[in-house]
Amino acid sequence: MAEYAYIERFKKLGFGMFVHFGLYSLIGRGEWNLFADKVEPAKYRAHSEKFLVKKTWARELAATAKAAGCRYVTLTTRHHDGFSLYDTRGLSPFDAPHSACGRDLIAEFVAACRQCGIVPLFYHTLLDWQHPDYRDNFPAYIDYLVGSIETLCKNYGKIGGFWFDGMWDKPDENWQEDRLYGTIRQYQPEAMIINNTGLDALGQTGHREIDSVTFERGKPFRVDAGDKPIAGEVCEGITDHWGYAQNDICHKSVRELLSLLLSCRVNGCNLLLNTGLKGDGSLDELEKGIFLALGKWISANRQFIYTAVPSRLQAENAVVLEDADCYYAVIKDVPMQLDSNVSRAKNAAQVTLKTDKKILSAKWLDNGKAIKVENNSFTVCPFEYGTSLALRVAKIVLSSK
């Protein structure tokens, strides 16, 4: 189905960076600050007079995403507070060019992504806490929303897709989805269309034009494609907030996030991992370090996660993916081996592939060393001292019969 080749390309992106950035970043209390803290709207809008973003923000963001192994970045072009990072071209003065920043930040973002070989995607809110028509004249608000999407479609070259959020706020309203998605198909026919179903409707497809289902902070499962191929994507945060929250120290571990990435790929889904930028557009140093650590694991394992797909092959003590004629057995929680006074290495696990075919060869991706195989089984070697990657991957070639 050549017409859906763009969906298959999206599936092979594998790992993306989700970025929340807006006026709320200045305040440091998360992206729902206006709503959750009941801030007076005029006071909130005044933050735009202090919204100064450093010139290098987009280049630094794209470079970090590339080093982390992310092949796409989904950025909040407008969040629920109604502030746009792009030039709305007269639709609203509540945008970055009319702020103290005075620049079109989406233009900078797209240029930086292209320079680094990263695919740019646009998050765009569907709800709006401040626009009067959202409350009082919903059809007029839809005109404003569609005009905003048309602006993004026409002024930034080819983009990877749109990631919508907020339809759950008014489930009984007429969102005119045919018109909204039709605008994207007119100007960006190969853009992914994703509409977040929120925390309570994981994996649901909805409208026929939707190209990927979402699993917000949820566990992925394989999606039944039906007549049209459908991608899947888990969005998760490093912390409990999406937008930058200076007092949120509940960071997920690299081990936990690697396990989530593996779970996504085993189920044919991408992982979209979030970071919230600070008010000047800079990355939180700890979150940046976590992304770079994930990139180190991806690089050490020869980036197999992008092209490998779910496999029907089963194994004891491992999960299996496949790519063409190769299989990848991934073993979790592999310890580092050393003296018992230093390392509490577990007893070596035994991995056995459940297949009638014979293993012709096997090697560790992280160091290229051959694995001794007997009766389609092998022992998991702990990581050598000086190395600890948590998840270990064996590349396996099977006989044709």
Residue 197: per-residue pLDDT: 87
What residues are paired with 59 via a beta bridge? none
Residue 393: per-residue pLDDT: 97
Residue 325: per-residue pLDDT: 86
SS3 233: strand
Domain boundaries, the chain: 2-300, 311-398
Residue 346: per-residue pLDDT: 66
Pairing of β 15-20 and β 269-276 = parallel
SS3 14: coil
Residue 226: per-residue pLDDT: 73
User: With b meaning 16 or more CB within 10 Å and e meaning fewer, what string describes 74-83?
Assistant: bbbbbbbbbb
Total Cβ atoms within 10 A of residue 172: 4
Total Cβ atoms within 10 A of residue 197: 21
DSSP assignment string, 33-96: HHHHTT--HHHHHGGGGG----TTHHHHHHHHHHHTT-SEEEEEEE-TT--BSS--TTS-S-BG
d(CA 68, CA 45): 34
Residue type, position 126, single letter: L
d(CA 231, CA 8): 8
- The answer to whether the beta carbons of residues 205 and 175 sit under 8 Å apart is no
Structure letter (DSSP) for residue 290: H
d(CA 195, CA 198): 9
Residue 10: per-residue pLDDT: 98
Residue 344: per-residue pLDDT: 65
Using CA atoms, how far residue 343 sits from 258, 335, 340, in Å, is 21, 8, 5
Q: In what order do the strands lie in the sheet with 350-354?
A: 314-316, 350-354, 377-379
d(CA 385, CA 9): 38
Using CA atoms, how far residue 284 sits from 22, 39, 289, 307, in Å, is 15, 25, 9, 30
Q: Give pLDDT tens digits for 61-89.
A: 999 999 999 999 999 999 999 999 999 99
pTM above 0.75, yes or no: yes
Assign domain 311-398 to its CATH architecture.
Answer: Sandwich (2.60)
CATH 3.20.20.80 fits 2-300, yes or no: yes
d(CA 270, CA 116): 20
Residue 79: per-residue pLDDT: 98
Place of tokens 């790929």: 265
Matching fold, domains 2-300 and 311-398: no
d(CA 27, CA 159): 30
Q: Give pLDDT tens digits for 204-224.
A: 888 999 999 999 999 999 987
Tell me which residues of the chain have a pLDDT lower than 70.
Answer: 1, 199, 225, 342-347
Q: Which two tokens stand for residue 276?
A: 């919230």
